[in-house]
Structures are given as structure tokens and as C-alpha cells.
Amino acid sequence: MKTAICPGSFDPVTHGHLDIIERAASVFDKLIVAVMFNARKQYLFSPTERVALLTRSTAHLPNVSVMYSEKLLAELCRELGVVVTVRGLRAVTDFEHEFQMALINRNLNPEMETVFLTAKERHQYLSSSVVKEVGALGGDISAFVPAPVLAEIKNKLLT
Ligand code: ADP
């Protein structure tokens, strides 16, 4: 049984995230999607809300589970006995940061390997930040986020 972990903020989960999650779920026996805490970020959705939206958006994937953690990823992986981390890579923007994180994580936990997957072309430009910006201005974001997110984000941004 090969288990992988897919960590991120998911504030909120987009079709870009879901694309990566679906690809990882088809490659690994089990996938843990971990909503992580990042002190540098200000979140629109609470951890409980982000976990609930991810759980509903991945309900069609039986080998995917969702959790929240405030631990260091390297530490969480050690505790869970998981050695593979899956991250999504968009065109150019993600490389520098992802490369740095992969090497730092392996330094902190030498067993850890980071696997990079790429989403479909049409999801390459998507990010949670862009979705929130467009949504806050009343733009149509139905093509960018899974259905469970759509209603919730409208409530958050437009009330
Ligand atoms: P983080 O704060 O850890 O970057 P995010 O929720 O922004 O968390 O992203 C989680 C992972 O999903 C990252 O690996 C990111 O590169 C990837 N990702 C986000 N959006 C997309 C997308 N549109 N296509 C491919 N990967 C994506």
C-alpha cells in the first residue's frame, strides 16, 4: 500500500487543486489531503470549513481522506508514516518555492520525497487568491471551483 500526502492551504479548494488530487488518487493507493496552517497567510475560510469543503469536493474519490494539521509537514509525515508528498506545479510561478520546500522537507525528514504533478492546461492559471479576488467583485467563478465551494464562497464574500 503506497500512501501519499497532499498538503496545502486550500482556501478554498479550486478545480486546480481537485485536478491534482484526482491525479494523485489514481497513482497512489491512498491519498491524505492535509489542510495545513501557514502563519504568513490570512485565511478566508476556517480550518473546519476548508476541511468540510474538501471532504465534499472529494466525496467521489474513495481512497482520499482529508485532515487538518498545524504541525510541520516533515513532522506530520513522520507521525503518519507517509514518505511521499504530492504538490501541484503551475507553469513557471511555483517552481522556485516548491523546489525550496522539497529540499527543506527532505533535510528535515530524509525519508521524504516530493512528487510534482501538473494540472490540465485550463487549470494552470487558477489559484485560490484569483478565485477570491474575482468572487469578491461579483465575477462568475463557477468554472473555477467545485460546486460545494460555490455557494459557500458567495455567502462569505458578498455578505
Ligand atoms: P500552499 O499555501 O501550500 O501553496 P495552496 O492551497 O495554495 O497551498 O496549494 C496547494 C498545492 O496545490 C500547491 O502545490 C500548489 O502549487 C498546487 N496548486 C494550486 N493551484 C493549482 C493549479 N491551478 N494547478 C496545479 N496545482 C495547483
pLDDT band at 57 (very low <50, low <70, confident <90, very high): very high
Q: Is residue 129 part of a domain?
A: no
Domain presence at residue 152: no
Whether residue 159 has pLDDT greater than 90: no
Do the domain assignments include residue 60?
yes
pLDDT of residue 18: 98
Would residue 117 count as lying in a domain? Answer: yes
The model's pLDDT over 121-147, given as tens digits with 9 standing for 90+, comes to 999 999 999 999 999 998 999 999 999
Of 145, 156, 157, 159, the C-alpha closest to 18 is 145
Instruction: Give the lowest-confidence range in 46-60, 64-78, 81-95.
Output: 81-95
Number of domains in the chain: 1
Give the integer Cα–Cα distance in Å for 50 and 12.
6
Quote the domain boundaries for residue 104. 3-124
Give 75-87 pLDDT, tens digit per residue: 999 999 999 999 9
What's the confidence (pLDDT) of residue 92? 77
Ligand 1 pocket, CB under 6 A: 8-10, 14, 16-17, 20, 38, 87-88, 90, 94, 119, 123-124, 126-128
| Sign (positive or negative) of CA dihedral 90, 93, 99, 101 | negative
- pLDDT on residue 53: 98
Tell me, in angstroms, the distance from the centre of ligand 1 to residue 16's CA: 7
pLDDT band at 115 (very low <50, low <70, confident <90, very high): very high
Kindly state whether residue 65 falls inside one of the protein's structural domains. Answer: yes
- Whether residue 114 is contained in a domain is answered as yes
pLDDT of residue 91: 80
**Residues annotated catalytic, as ranges:** 17, 41, 90, 128
Residue 88 CA: nearest ligand 1 atom is: 26
Q: For residue 157, is it within any domain? A: no
Residue 138 in domain: no
Asked whether 28 and 21 are in contact (CB, 8 A), the reply is no
CATH code at position 35: 3.40.50.620
Report, as an integer, the average pLDDT of 144-157.
91
